[in-house]
Chain A
């Protein structure tokens, strides 16, 4: 298995632009998590899905952020419009609830100028 796949690995954009981050979880995993990591705030849970259904989005910072999981093999995190304070590394992680272990992707490093 290729593990959790995220794209792009690096994204540089200008303030006000729309940004879409993509994640392909490990096949057969039933949970998917989106995290944001910064030096100031550490690792923050943004939202998670169970069987493609959003369960808890209380960590989404504001309405500019949205996440979807249209099927078991794909999820997106969208920021519109982006702001410099959104600059961070965004991780996707998937879980097989039988084993309760999170598998993280390599992350997307987002820079908003």
Chain B
């Protein structure tokens, strides 16, 4: 079955540092890929998505590129802020009619001033 593997956290960075959170997936066909973010005490919210190979999703300074050859969708941000502290989930959903989303285990990011 489909699966998503994320790097284990927590990740602790100083403000303005560069962020990379690795994500790889196993799936048949051509799934859509997502990054969700969960701030403390809240539900998950969609951060960005990509629906086909080589697509780049971006939002709020975050980027991720759909790499089919390496089955990866790494999340990056050039300069993190304290307000980016949250848990980040990589996820996939199969194309061809809506199906359920498979989530990774989440990576906690802590940004210190």
Q: Is this pair of chains taken from one and the same complex?
A: yes
Distance (whole angstroms) from the CB of B31 to the closest CB of chain A? 11
Interface string of B32-59 (1 = CB under 8 A from A): 1000100001111110010000000000
Counting contact residues on chain B (CB < 8 A from A), the size range is: 10 to 19
Name A's interface SS: strand
Pairwise interchain contact B43-A104, C-beta atoms closer than 8 A: yes
B100 near A56 with CB under 8 A, answer yes
In the complex, 24 of the A-B residue pairs with CB atoms within 8 angstroms, ordered by the A residue number, are: A33-B100, A42-B103, A42-B105, A42-B106, A43-B44, A43-B89, A43-B106, A48-B100, A50-B98, A91-B43, A91-B44, A95-B98, A100-B32, A100-B98, A101-B46, A101-B49, A102-B36, A102-B44, A102-B46, A102-B101, A103-B46, A105-B43, A107-B42, A107-B43
Residues of A in contact with B (beta carbons under 8 Å apart): 4, 31, 33, 42-43, 45, 48, 50, 56, 91, 93, 95, 97, 100-107
Chain B residues at the A interface, C-beta cutoff of 8 Å: 32, 36, 41-46, 49, 89, 93, 98, 100-101, 103, 105-106
